[in-house]
Amino acid sequence: MWVLNEALTLEPETVKEIMKIRIPCGEGFRNHESILVRANPGGTVSVGVLGLINGLFGPQWPRIAAEYNGENELAGFSLITEKNKTWH
């Protein structure tokens, strides 16, 4: 997570553009225990770089979350723990 925040500080536009990339994926990623995917309208799913990074660590580790500001711009990355968890 720290290197992601450092990268955002060093090259904010580059990291913001990378985080926008989402690739349609199928059942393999949808059913994976640690790769995170986004459910899209129409029942499709897509994966981004953060979904794959989270998949590297497995379900036993806290998830890395992207944080966005009031203008919906990427502001940083943080760990989701049981204490601050907002997803199920």
The answer to whether the beta carbons of residues 79 and 56 sit under 8 Å apart is no
Q: Is the pLDDT of residue 83 over 80?
A: no
CB 26 within 8 A of CB 37: no
State the Cα angle at 66 between 42 and 82, rounded to 5°: 95
pLDDT digits (tens, 9 = 90+) for 2-61: 999 999 999 999 999 999 999 999 999 999 999 999 999 999 999 999 999 999 988 888
Question: From CA 9, how far away is CA 19, in angstroms rounded?
Answer: 14
Average pLDDT of span 67-81: 93
Cβ atoms 69, 62 nearer than 8 A = no
Which residues form the domain of 48?
A: 2-80
**Over 70: is that where the pLDDT of 87 sits?**
no
Q: How many domains does the chain have?
A: 1
Banded model confidence at residue 82, pLDDT cuts 50, 70, 90: low
